[in-house]
Amino acid sequence: MTSSTQISNFDLYYWPGLQGRGEFIRLALEAAGVAYRDVARLPEAEGGGAKAVVGMMRSPGSWMVPLAPPILKTGDLVLAQVANILFFLGPKLDLCSEREDQRWYTNQLQLTITDLVAEIHDTHHPISTSMYYEQQREEAIKKAQAFVAQRMPKFLNYFENIIQKSTAGYLIGEHLSYVDTSMFQVLEGLSYAFPTAFAEYSGSIPGLLALRDRIRKHPGIANYLSSDRRLPFNEHGIFRRYPELNVPLHPNKDAS
């Protein structure tokens, strides 16, 4: 731990029953082996359930009003936005460099993951988050096709180039950072949601796959993955497996 490390009480507020964007925060806390309360997963009688998340958004008890979960409450702070929460937690959990330039770059990469996650979300909700998937399935199929053919390779290739230049096998610097645990989640999620295209593209990202395997074995993460705190992927989260969206990387390869 760095000398500036101060471990506080961490209360995470995120929708119960799914990994969602809350998982990026859980993975950082779990990698560091830090205790936290996953408040909405508590019984309603103990202040849990979705009500806890709604309550946090409506009256957070702070001037720091969030728009959407995940939300981290610690002391007087009420923080939202995955990248912002991780920027705050990084030094406290020893999950980012102490070098200022590397800290900015860690944030930059996390924000790039935020962009990628938004695009992944839009593959199943390309028209509106307030409509059911079934109401936008046709558009979703087109969106998923464009995503796996163009955007997924663009983002993964970008991160692969970064890790290929790394001497330590981490995305930034010599040590594990929260960008590594976030990339682990993205890779696990993409292989769940788009198993065909992901398998086809796997040969192009050996460095990222080695990182994924390394993170899986990290003591804090391995402990988490084998616990009941790690919910399986499901069709309520960011990464959803719908058979019709499991499109190949090159749909017209065999045509003509």
Ligand X SMILES: N[C@@H](CCC(=O)N[C@@H](CS)C(=O)NCC(=O)O)C(=O)O
Binding positions for ligand X, rule: CB under 6 A:
20-21, 68-70, 81-82, 114
Write down the least CB distance from residue 114 to ligand X, Å. Answer: 5
Residue nearest to ligand X (CB): 68
Nearer to ligand X, 71 or 205 (CB): 71
Calpha distance 92→46 (Å, rounded): 28
Nearer to ligand X, 81 or 181 (CB): 81
Write down the least CB distance from residue 15 to ligand X, Å. Answer: 6
Nearer to ligand X, 21 or 240 (CB): 21
Write down the least CB distance from residue 117 to ligand X, Å. Answer: 7
Write down the least CB distance from residue 68 to ligand X, Å. Answer: 4
Please name the helix (run of DSSP H) or strand (run of DSSP E) that holds residue 101, with its range, or none: helix 100-124
Contacts from 45-53 at CB under 8 Å and sequence distance 24+? 48/16, 49/16, 50/15, 50/16, 52/13, 53/13, 53/14, 53/15
Nearer to ligand X, 17 or 248 (CB): 17
Calpha distance 226→216 (Å, rounded): 10
The CA-atom distances, in angstroms, between 61 and each of 64, 78, 139 are 8, 9, 40
Instruction: For residue 197, give both structure tokens.
Output: 């295209």
Write down the least CB distance from residue 70 to ligand X, Å. Answer: 6
Tell me if 233 sits within 8 A of 241, measured CB to CB.
yes
Calpha distance 95→78 (Å, rounded): 20
Write down the least CB distance from residue 217 to ligand X, Å. Answer: 27
Write down the least CB distance from residue 20 to ligand X, Å. Answer: 4
Calpha distance 216→46 (Å, rounded): 32
Nearer to ligand X, 48 or 70 (CB): 70
Q: What angle do the packed helices 178-193 and 82-93 form, to 10 degrees?
A: 130
The CA-atom distances, in angstroms, between 51 and each of 29, 61, 169 are 23, 15, 41
Nearer to ligand X, 22 or 173 (CB): 22
Nearer to ligand X, 21 or 103 (CB): 21
Amino acid identity for residue 79 in this structure: L
Please name the helix (run of DSSP H) or strand (run of DSSP E) that holds residue 16, with its range, or none: none
